[in-house]
Structure 1
């Protein structure tokens, strides 16, 4: 597993996804769903399960992963409307990672297209807002709605702006010093007195 040591990947796999169990499982229902009236999972039951467990069971043919509600059709238009129109952080902090991990099993072409389109649509808005000057209150409100993947993009844009401004402020004096050194090296500074010529016989 290439992302074994990646903390975000581990946290993403804690996301709860629906899984339909092909076999019964004794003594785990109330652990998976604390409000369950029974402590056993029956064959055919659909149970909310951590992604890492649902994925492991699906690989063994013991369960089948389903998409969480946030990926269903009724949410897709709202997601593509813009970053400020839907709170991804509250619904699914690792929206793109979880969607792709689920799709490893589902192989749903429409889901792949939806994830790509959603990211592209929201990415353009995030870059635009990240590179522009917005008030602190507006920035905090926007950040509170972004998935953690989107938040990384947004903060990278803000950081790029800050670095560019710092460079612009500090570049002029350094440029002047460099120019002076170049002129000196080329002999463009005031001429130095020429050495005396040797007189013959002395």
Structure 2
């Protein structure tokens, strides 16, 4: 979890996640599209992660909601990442995909998600670094891949790109000496 003023943490916490209400709550029907009505027990809806987390862990075993794994981390997405991490548009799943995964793993113990996210990040990081060091690749066949990277990967790309640029400049200065 980032600092209070970290915009990426704020945006991650605002990501909608699926939940199921475990009890009826008067006056909350508007959350599921039932304006002015009650939230009935068993109703599924999506709430921002920050609110869903508070409601899911607030009272222990008698929490008003059950939090479910978001679609961005569904078995379908995990299987696609296992098969070919490069082919998955993570940005389309969630702009802050890895941060969302980290936050969800704070709430769920799921070794498969840990393993898949770790391996995917490693494989995608190598690809991102390659595109950052080779600008021609980022403009050509790598353009589609780079459009689908999440915000953490974009930070990685910017860092790798600026370090490659600084290295080229330093090498140019060394040749002049």
Same fold (TM over 0.5): yes
Q: Which residue of 2 aligns with 1:26?
A: 26
Unaligned runs of 5+ residues in structure 2 are none
Q: Which residue of 1 aligns with 2:129?
A: 127
By how many angstroms is 1:111 displaced? Answer: 1.7
Q: Which residue of 1 aligns with 2:89?
A: 87
By how many angstroms is 1:75 displaced? Answer: 1.7
Q: How many residues align?
A: 170
1:69 corresponds to which of 64, 68, 71? 71
Q: Which residue of 2 aligns with 1:117?
A: 119
2:46 corresponds to which of 45, 48, 55? 48
By how many angstroms is 1:140 displaced? Answer: 4.4
Q: Secondary structure at the match of 1:47?
A: strand
Assess if the C-alpha contact under 8 Å between 1:131 and 1:161 holds in 2.
yes
When normalised by structure 2's length, the TM-score is: 0.84
Which stretch of the first structure deviates more once superposed, 99-108 or 49-58?
99-108
By how many angstroms is 1:63 displaced? Answer: 1.6
Assess if the C-alpha contact under 8 Å between 1:65 and 1:102 holds in 2.
no
**Take 1:109 and 1:98, find their aligned partners in 2: how far apart are those partners?**
16
By how many angstroms is 1:139 displaced? Answer: 5.2
Please say which structure displays the higher CA radius of gyration. 1
When normalised by structure 1's length, the TM-score is: 0.75
**Take 2:119 and 2:29, find their aligned partners in 1: how far apart are those partners?**
37
By how many angstroms is 1:15 displaced? Answer: 0.5
By how many angstroms is 1:37 displaced? Answer: 4.2
Q: Which residue of 2 aligns with 1:187?
A: none
Unaligned runs of 5+ residues in structure 1 are 177-202
**Take 1:148 and 1:29, find their aligned partners in 2: how far apart are those partners?**
34
By how many angstroms is 1:44 displaced? Answer: 2.1
Change over 3 Å in CA distance of 1:6–1:110 after alignment to 2: same
Assess if the C-alpha contact under 8 Å between 1:82 and 1:125 holds in 2.
no
Query: Are residue 148 (structure 1) and residue 151 (structure 2) matched?
Result: yes
By how many angstroms is 1:56 displaced? Answer: 0.7
Assess if the C-alpha contact under 8 Å between 2:78 and 2:113 holds in 1.
no
